[in-house]
Amino acid sequence: MKEDPPNNDLDENAFQDTVSAVIENKEIEASMDSLTRAIDDHMFSAHAEENSQGIIDTYLEALLNGKITKKTITKLASDIIISKDLDTKKDNSLQLALIYTALAQYFLNENLENKAWTALSEAKYYLAYLFGLTDPANHKNIERAQKGGRKKAQNARDLEELAITLLKKRRPKKDWRNPYDAACTIARELSTEANTNNIPIPNNLEDLIHKLTTLIHENKEVTKAFNSPES
């Protein structure tokens, strides 16, 4: 009897992980495009600058070279609160929006989706603040947008912490076999905990497993919890 040749064309788990990452990133890419267009419009109207992407790239290079540090960002944010000069507030808000947009683009390119969302929410926050300084009549809409962005970032962090806790709690004696197996093992318990604590997660179990698998592959802290019981 002739045996069927082995099928080496497709690693199903790897394929599912890749497809999941593409689907998950689709929404953030749309948000990123929307944010970049908003910055473009502002730069053109306020500074006659048509190439905001070039400026964003310059900020990213400065971040990677260490010319912009956490201390720089903290100082810019502090001066927005302390300064009584409107131009300083506007300039600092725009700089922070550009810096966080650069970070969001970098994290997205590195497939670090949760970090990209966090940076994106910060960029939206400072851009909304800038628009509020320019047009105070929009303050109520700005506050809603800020709360929505920060809530989404907090939800992402809450999900990461829950995944880390369960990866440690349910770790087999011989460690996890692979990320997909770990995600399958903790998915149902994580779903129960997430619903109890009002943490948004995919309704479909398979979608949740794909999301958890992606987190294990891409999120530094979740990866540590997967690899080491002492992390």
Residue 4 lies in a domain: no
DSSP 8-state assignment for residue 203: S
Structural domain harbouring 208: 158-227
Cα separations (Å) of 140 from 61, 72, 131, 136, 184?
35, 29, 12, 9, 43
**Is 98 found in the same domain as 45?**
yes
Count how many domains the chain has. Answer: 2
**Is 172 found in the same domain as 121?**
no
**Is 36 found in the same domain as 107?**
yes
**Is 172 found in the same domain as 90?**
no
Three-state secondary-structure class, residue 173? coil
Q: Tell me, what's the pLDDT at 113?
A: 84
Which residues in 108-123 are b (16+ Cβ under 10 Å) and which e? beeebbbbbbbbbbbb
Residue 140 lies in a domain: no
Q: Contact at 8 Å (CB) between 190 and 171?
A: no
Per-residue pLDDT of the chain (231 residues; tens, 9 = 90+): 444 444 444 344 443 444 444 444 557 787 788 788 888 777 777 666 667 788 888 999 999 999 999 899 999 999 888 888 888 888 899 899 999 999 998 998 888 888 888 888 888 888 888 887 765 555 555 555 555 666 777 888 889 999 999 999 999 888 898 999 999 999 999 999 998 888 888 888 899 999 999 999 888 889 999 987 665
Identify the CA nearest to 99 among candidates 125, 119, 128: 119
**Is 113 found in the same domain as 52?**
yes
**Is 191 found in the same domain as 98?**
no
Residue 145 lies in a domain: no
**Is 211 found in the same domain as 106?**
no
Instruction: Retrieve residue 26's tokens.
Output: 């689709």
Residue 151 lies in a domain: no
